[in-house]
Structure 1
């Protein structure tokens, strides 16, 4: 009987030792181009500032009359969930209206949602042509001013970016957001 128990224990230990961590394969691989802007506090932010960090990005503008408010509220909820689970990730919101969205405007806007700026940069400080091209090329996302309007067409997705600055996944950002999956994916990159 002791031999059987010993044998079962050895098999269990060997099985546990041989298990490999399941590697997550992400569907996207889009390299984020270099950018330079300033955050809500006027602090310069570039792609280099984010190297080595896992981050979640989106595109918003403060006078949006449709999806930006729900997206920002969802980003706050994601931020809270990350904090509750002790998961480190940077949040980055690129303004697609850099003329209107000066740093103080971005800070006031995010403060209305009770954003925590310790790990969230709302970025502006580039020109309109740059942000439209940057969104298109780096995130395969639309970003353009609607002709004859103060509104913009833009993506409603949240984008997961790895430590090397590569977009690896995207999620719905305006409606039902898969918080558990986002957090699981962030953990898998760390």
Structure 2
């Protein structure tokens, strides 16, 4: 009887653990402000057009000499993991922090330098002012975007943000070093399941 109770207790714990992992636990609840910008294909991408689809957000720029290349490689790794799992209903959205220099053509050329598994899921955005992206970073993602007065570089955060289909930031992750690729892919999968 004791053994039976232990077995039942174990399977009950497993069942409870299984249930609690089925829903993504949001770590934040930041509403992304409305936007409508141009991506690397010259297509308009807005908060409305992303509605219903979870997305991963980042801040980059094409002439970045430090953190952006590894961040972009990390995004391709995450996408590779999603592809391997057969996950398709998501987007990767990167806001250029140097919009005056990053044209759609430059963003397209930048992306072509990386081993992107499926370019159709990517939206590298431009077509706004430096002040707009600075405000978007601060208000929607609680991150800094600022020109470096001593160079042509732009200071910006290295975080990846998980945004749900309602346009709310629910989690963030280190996007530069020790990136939790498996966790990000699993969290995106959970959000997609919750949306369907």
TM-score (norm 1): 0.88
Shift in Å at residue 24 of structure 1? 3.0
Q: Distance in 1 between matches of 2:45 and 2:168?
A: 17
For 2:38, the equivalent position in structure 1 comes to 38
For 2:104, the equivalent position in structure 1 comes to 103
State the SS of the aligned residue for 1:163.
coil
Q: Distance in 1 between matches of 2:128 and 2:119?
A: 20
- List structure 1 segments (4+ residues) > 6 angstroms apart after TM superposition: none
CA contact (8 A) 1:36 1:126 kept: no
Shift in Å at residue 86 of structure 1? 1.2
1:147 partnered with 2:180: no
CA RMSD of aligned residues (A): 2.2
Q: Distance in 2 between matches of 1:161 and 1:40?
A: 20
Q: Distance in 1 between matches of 2:161 and 2:28?
A: 10
Q: Deviation per CA, 1:30-78, whole angstroms, max 9, x where unpaired?
A: 0000111100010011111111001001000000110000000111111
Shift in Å at residue 25 of structure 1? 1.7
Shift in Å at residue 21 of structure 1? 2.7
Mind listing any 5+ residue stretches in structure 1 that lack a counterpart?
Answer: 1-10
Q: Distance in 1 between matches of 2:190 and 2:80?
A: 19
1:138 partnered with 2:136: no
1:163 partnered with 2:165: yes
1:70 partnered with 2:77: no
Mind listing any 5+ residue stretches in structure 2 that lack a counterpart?
Answer: 1-7
Larger radius of gyration: 1
Shift in Å at residue 142 of structure 1? 0.6
For 2:95, the equivalent position in structure 1 comes to 94
CA contact (8 A) 1:157 1:173 kept: yes
Shift in Å at residue 172 of structure 1? 0.6
Q: Distance in 2 between matches of 1:127 and 1:77?
A: 30
State the SS of the aligned residue for 2:112.
helix
CA contact (8 A) 1:60 1:95 kept: yes
For 1:127, the equivalent position in structure 2 comes to 129
TM-score (norm 2): 0.85
For 1:5, the equivalent position in structure 2 comes to none
Q: Deviation per CA, 1:65-104, whole angstroms, max 9, x where unpaired?
A: 1000000011111111111111232101110000110000
